[in-house]
Amino acid sequence: MSNKKALVFGGGGFIGSHMVKRLKSEGYFVKSVDLNYPEFCDTFADEFLIYDLTNPESFPDIITFAENETYDEIYQYAADMGGAGFIFTGDNDAEIMTNSGLINMNLLKAQLDQNKKLNTNNTKIFYSSSACIYPEYNQLDPDNPDCSEGSAYPADPDSEYGWEKLFSERLYLSYSKNFNIPVRIARFHNIFGPEGTYDGGREKVPAAICRKVANSEDGIIEIWGDGMQTRSFLYIDECIEATRRLMNSDFIGPVNIGSEEMVSINELVKIVGEVANKEIVPKHIDGPLGVRGRNSNNDLIREKLNWDYKMTLKEGIEKTYHWIESQLLGE
């Protein structure tokens, strides 16, 4: 067991709350900071602070464990984000870029000031970036997208969310280069699983389809676009394991954390239908889509961390669908 101390920004969210749970299982003292408590479970954190991380005023107190003592690790998941219905409409671009950018700048500036004050530099910071940083021009072919880490430049993300994530990657790398702050950066590829948002406009594709299938009485569900756009999806437990390996390594990143099991959205609908034991027919309608194709390339993480995903998409969907169905039934 560990005597380490961790601070989790965004610990009330989907991925952050799962990381809190994992760290506690390893014996960490964990403090979580977010605008809200976890929506679907109690927090496992030793302390949970409700705070707006776009406000820099209390950051010196937040990042201090005790007088003259810092946290061993900080996990930065906090962001203004959501699914395609939130990111790709264009209506939320200024809010996304401002809020997420401020959180990252506030964190790094406060940690730098703390390091100078205490003459230390021991706090390792994890930053959760996104596959949305990859250029749109490499993701036009749904059958052959290029999302290898080296393909990020020349930069051309298809959303302001992706541009902010790319800027923040460079921000963390700059603080590492100029001030020797230890950082680790991962690009997440569509993380899904139980205890994630499944309604309200900010949910990701697997959760939205699971909800629609569970609620469907006539076997027809609405799907944005022609359903031929492709994606890969990684189950939450796999994401947490890969992140812990990255934090325990000497590799900075950025590195993809995702699955290489690419499917079309129509194929995803079929998988969810099979899990639900329902005949599902997608009704294709207009809606925000994002890129035509996206799939994780795991060559680098296999080389550097000896990590690879183990769970099939269908296995993850089975766990997720039955959890969402139970939520809808009020169980």
In a domain, 299, yes or no: no
Question: What value does the mean pLDDT of the chain take?
Answer: 94
In a domain, 37, yes or no: yes
Please compute the mean of the pLDDT values over residues 252-264 and round it to a whole number.
98
CATH number at residue 280: 3.90.25.10
pLDDT above 90 covers a percentage of the chain that reads: 86
In a domain, 79, yes or no: yes
Please compute the mean of the pLDDT values over residues 161-180 and round it to a whole number.
97
Please compute the mean of the pLDDT values over residues 264-288 and round it to a whole number.
94
Beta strands in 170-265 (DSSP E): 183-188, 191-192, 220-224, 230-231, 234-235, 255-257, 263-264
66, 78: one domain: yes
Q: Does residue 170 register a pLDDT over 80?
A: yes
Residues 6+ apart with CB under 8 A from 249: 184, 304, 305
> What does the pLDDT read at residue 82?
62
Task: State pLDDT tens for residues 82-129.
Answer: 666 666 677 889 999 999 999 999 999 999 999 999 999 999 999 999
Whether residue 198 lies in the annotated active site: no
- Report the distance separating Cα 113 and Cα 115, nearest Å: 5
CATH number at residue 44: 3.40.50.720
pLDDT above 70 covers a percentage of the chain that reads: 97
Q: Which of 74-88, 103-117, 143-157, 236-250 has the lowest mean pLDDT?
A: 74-88
In a domain, 304, yes or no: no
- Report the distance separating Cα 235 and Cα 240, nearest Å: 9
> What does the pLDDT read at residue 67?
80
- Report the distance separating Cα 97 and Cα 42, nearest Å: 30
Could you tell me the residue range of the domain that residue 322 belongs to? 193-232+261-292+311-328
174, 265: one domain: no
In a domain, 58, yes or no: yes
Q: Which of 47-51, 122-126, 196-200, 310-314 has the lowest mean pLDDT?
A: 196-200
Task: Please give the single-letter amino acid code of residue 73.
Answer: E
* Overall domain count for the chain: 2
Q: Does residue 233 register a pLDDT over 80?
A: yes
Identify the active-site residue in 71, 161, 198, 235.
161
> What does the pLDDT read at residue 282?
92
> What does the pLDDT read at residue 180?
97
Please compute the mean of the pLDDT values over residues 297-301 and round it to a whole number.
98
Lookup: tokens for 108: 């790094």
